[in-house]
Amino acid sequence: MEVTLSPHIHILEHKLNYIFKDKQQLAEALTHKSFKQPYNNERLEFLGDAVLDLIVAEFLFAEFRQKNEGSLSKMRASLVNENSFCKLAQSINLGDYLNLSVSEVNNGGRFKASLLSNAFEAIMAVIYLESGLDEVKRVFYPIMQREFHIHEELLPKDYKSTLQEYTQEVFGCIPTYEMLAQEGPDHNKTFTMQVKIQDTIYASASGSSKKTAQQEAARLTLEILQEQTTKL
Q: Is 22 noted as a catalytic residue in this protein?
A: no
The Cα–Cα gap between 193 and 181 comes to: 7
- In single-letter form, the type of residue at position 168 comes to Q
What pTM value is reported for the model? 0.71
pLDDT at residue 187, as a whole number: 66
pLDDT at residue 212, as a whole number: 86
**Beta strands 190-197; 176-183: pairing state:** antiparallel
Q: Is 49 noted as a catalytic residue in this protein?
A: yes
pLDDT at residue 203, as a whole number: 94
Among the options 28, 104, 121, 158, which is catalytic?
121
pLDDT at residue 200, as a whole number: 93
**181 bridge partner residues:** 192
Among the options 49, 82, 104, 216, which is catalytic?
49
pLDDT at residue 192, as a whole number: 94
Q: Which residues of the chain have pLDDT under 70?
A: 1-3, 151-157, 187, 231-232
The Cα–Cα gap between 193 and 183 comes to: 12
pLDDT at residue 1, as a whole number: 54
pLDDT at residue 115, as a whole number: 94
